[in-house]
Structure 1
Amino acid sequence: MTLTTTWGSIQGQEITFPMEVDDFTSATLGFSVPAAAARALLPGDAFEIVEVGPGVAQLIVSLVDYRSNPWGDYNEVNLGFLARPAGAGEEVIGSFVYRMPVDQEFTCLAGNQVMGFPKTVMGIDADYTETHASFVLRDGDLLSLRVTVPRAAPLGEPTRNETVSYSYLDGAPYETPLAMDLATGAVEADQVVVELGSGPIADELRSLGLPCAPDFASYGERLGAVFQLGTAL
């Protein structure tokens, strides 16, 4: 039996955990980037970059279209690195989220106040054709990031992956346990189109060596996830 915890309410909506997400579409990309450039984007000293090779970090870009979520039907761009709390053992690996733009105010407030996620409100569009999905992030009126991927058919049922997401907000480090379906639609790296425009996020991605082809990419629809209540470390 799953116990439900009530955190409180925001804008009159009760916030409870575990928070179950029933339906989202996601494109996930992984890039090998210079570890020194990745460290420069980590605030404070509470976390350290996991090197996947000498001097190499893993940038994870997750582009998400939440369709059925207790916090709304919204789009999100999740930018992070494989990382661990400073001083933790090498077996400890999670994803540190350094940027998390969303396109709605409520999920931004809830993510900040409840989970310690560094959510900000920006313009994000998720557009689909029969063959491709395109995610566009805007900084005001300017294009910041556009990613286009094939709508790859799943190679099997999604697998539920239990992990932890790390974040840092207002001077405090956080961790959020979650279980999320991993998409099984495999995308060839040379079929991914990454375009950078203007603004701080575009400049940060350029400092990491983008635009370039990812090391890996996946795509999935009708995925699910369960988020637990985040806690300060």
Structure 2
Amino acid sequence: MAERVTWGTIEDQTITFPMNVDDFNAATMGFSVPAAAAAALLPGDGFEIIEIGPGVAQFIISLCDYRDNPWGDYNEVNLGFLARPAGAGDDVIGSFIYRMPVDQQFTCEAGNLVMGFPKVVTRIDADYTDAQVTFQLLDGGELALSVTVPRVRTDDAAVRVETTSYSYLNGVPHGTPLAMDMSAAVVEPGDVHLTIGSGPIADELTSLGMPAEPDFCSWGEHLTATFQLGAPL
């Protein structure tokens, strides 16, 4: 068991690691996009895009509905790419999330200060029916992105994936190790419906060729995750 580490206090709440998320729902999907367009959205020069083919990057959209999280019960949209620290070997594979909107203030402040994650507070709706879920992200009060996926189910257990999420903390390249459930419930790519709205986020998505059919998609409910305290690279 990893030793528990206390980072400090935010708004009278003590921040400790490992941080265990005991319940969240998530849709995760990947898209093949132009590597040059992806690199244009990567800030600074501390990280580089991983090409999954000549001139092709993997764009990841993760839509999370956190139900039982020490930092709140909030919705989050992750937009990022498979990436590695600049100059690292080909065996190093992680992700750089260039946008991470959330809909609550505490997780925004904690994510910014502790992990360097690019969290901002905006409206994110997660609307459920028995058959599907729709996430809607607003940017400046206008719809930027809407994604609808079927609530597919499986008896297969989720797969525990260990990875590193990269960021800049106080301008310094940073890595946050994490272990997260990846649902085994596979969504048919043609059943994923994306709508791109307006505003800066929508413009960035359009530059990547969105809306498009994903290469893969999963939907999971009652997933778990563990975040470690990150460190400079």
TM range (shorter): over 0.9
1:60 equivalent in structure 2: 60
Q: Work out the CA distance in 2 between the residues paired with 1:231 and 1:146.
A: 34
- Equivalent-residue separation in structure 2 for 1:122 and 1:216 (angstroms): 27
State how far apart, in whole Å, the 2-side matches of 1:209 and 1:149 are.
Answer: 19
5+ unaligned residues in a row in structure 2: which ranges?
A: none
2:160 aligned residue:
160
Superposed CA RMSD: 0.9
C-alpha contact (below 8 Å) 2:143/2:198 kept by paired residues: yes
* CA distance in structure 2 between the aligned counterparts of 1:232 and 1:108, rounded to whole angstroms: 20
Map 1:1-233 onto structure 2 (within 5 A): 1-233=1-233
Q: Equivalent residue of 1:100, what SS? A: strand
Runs of 4+ in 1 over 6 A off after TM superposition: none
Instruction: Check the 8 A contact 1:158/1:181 in 2, yes or no.
Output: yes
Cα distance in structure 1, aligned partners of 2:174 and 2:77: 19
1:171-208 Cα offsets, whole Å, 9 max, x none, are 22211000000111110011000001011111000000
**Distance in structure 1 (CA, Å) of the matches to 2:214 and 2:18:** 33
Aligned-residue offset at 1:232:
2.3
The one-letter code sitting in structure 2 at the alignment partner of 1:65 is: D
Structure 1: gaps of 5 or more residues: none
Counterpart residue type for residue 88 of structure 1: A
Calculate the TM-score normalised by the size of structure 2: 0.98
- TM-score (normalizing by structure 1): 0.98
In the TM superposition, residue 168 of structure 1 has moved relative to its aligned partner by 2.6
Q: Is the 8 A contact 1:118 1:169 kept in 2?
A: no
